[in-house]
Structure 1
Amino acid sequence: MLGLPSGEVQLSRYEAGWRSLFLEEAERLRTGIGGYVLDIQHIGSTSIPGMPAKPILDIGIAVTDFEEAMRCVPPMEELGYIYKGENGIPRRHYFVKGDPPHSSCACIGD
């Protein structure tokens, strides 16, 4: 199970299926914004086998150019993500997906 209401912190037992969910989401992202992507990585606690984690897939996306990556916003929205801007961290495009959120993506570039 993935997802937590905003402001809630809860740890879940590790689930081996988190890796498969990441791989599926990474493929959707490559299809939607692949022209801007250098790399997509599963980051955060759900990426560490055996570790209890907040049940939210954190995905790091390295993009070719930070400013040019603004063009990723419409296709990311088509994939169900909500764009949050830099969300407190300069030079980061931040997105969340789901209600309650079950995935987050940070696009970082030069």
Structure 2
Amino acid sequence: MKRNRKPRRPDVTSVEIVGGPEKLSLGLCSHDDKWADTYLDHRRRISEALGGEDIEIEHIGSTSVPGLAAKPIIDIVVAVEDITAEEDYLDPLLAAGYELRVREPRHRLVRTPERDVHVHLYERDDPAIAEYLLLRDHLRRNVDDRVLYERTKRALLDKAWDDMNDYADAKAEVIVAIKARARQSAGLDAM
């Protein structure tokens, strides 16, 4: 449901990566059922930190797909009412022990000090949230694309990456193709 609201203030216009580039040092692990429990623990932690805020929380990324090998990092997406109102969500999450990693237009990322949980924050109705859920749900249902995605990740991890973001960017072509098939199988128009 779209809400008619205006952000409290203009959003940031540049990308700030707190701490700079980080070398990718994790390999893939077989799917671990404990990842769902870790997600639920952090869902509760995020909910408690944000109190009565009107938020949506979802487990995304490879650890949310049973049967898919993944880097052991739990990705969570949180939809907030106003991305520019950091005092409503960022301050409470920092107080709950998360650390700011990325501040960029329409998106913030906080993570645990251990770097094993990444929390992506977007404004409610941001198309990025629907894209995450489209990919997750399709990979949960489609074995062929799940195998393709895992094979792609394994091939890319054979290379040395000076920055985790470069690894993520290298997967983009395969992800775009998988999401196109996901839209087709769901009867959605290609975006």
TM-score (norm 2): 0.50
How far the C-alpha of 1:78 sits from its partner, in A, is 1.9
C-alpha separation between the residues in 2 aligned to 1:27 and 1:84? 21
> What's the Cα RMSD here?
1.8
How far the C-alpha of 1:65 sits from its partner, in A, is 1.2
Decide which structure has greater helix share: 2
C-alpha separation between the residues in 2 aligned to 1:38 and 1:78? 18
Q: Which one of 12, 21, 45 corresponds to residue 29 of structure 2?
A: 12
Which ranges of structure 1 fall in alignment gaps of 5 or more residues? none
In the other structure, the counterpart of 1:27 is 44
In the other structure, the counterpart of 1:98 is 113
For these two proteins, the number of residue pairs brought into alignment is 103
Asked whether the equivalents of residues 43 and 59 of structure 1 are also in contact (C-alpha less than 8 Å), the reply is yes
Decide which structure has greater strand share: 1
Q: Which one of 48, 70, 79 corresponds to residue 53 of structure 1?
A: 70
Describe the SS at the equivalent of 1:27: helix
Asked whether the equivalents of residues 82 and 97 of structure 1 are also in contact (C-alpha less than 8 Å), the reply is yes
How far the C-alpha of 1:74 sits from its partner, in A, is 2.0
Which ranges of structure 2 fall in alignment gaps of 5 or more residues? 1-21, 125-191
Runs of 4+ aligned structure 1 residues displaced above 6 Å come to: none
Identity of aligned residues (%): 28
C-alpha separation between the residues in 1 aligned to 2:88 and 2:55? 15
TM-score (norm 1): 0.83
Of structures 1 and 2, the one with the larger relative CO (CA 8 A, separation 6+) is: 1
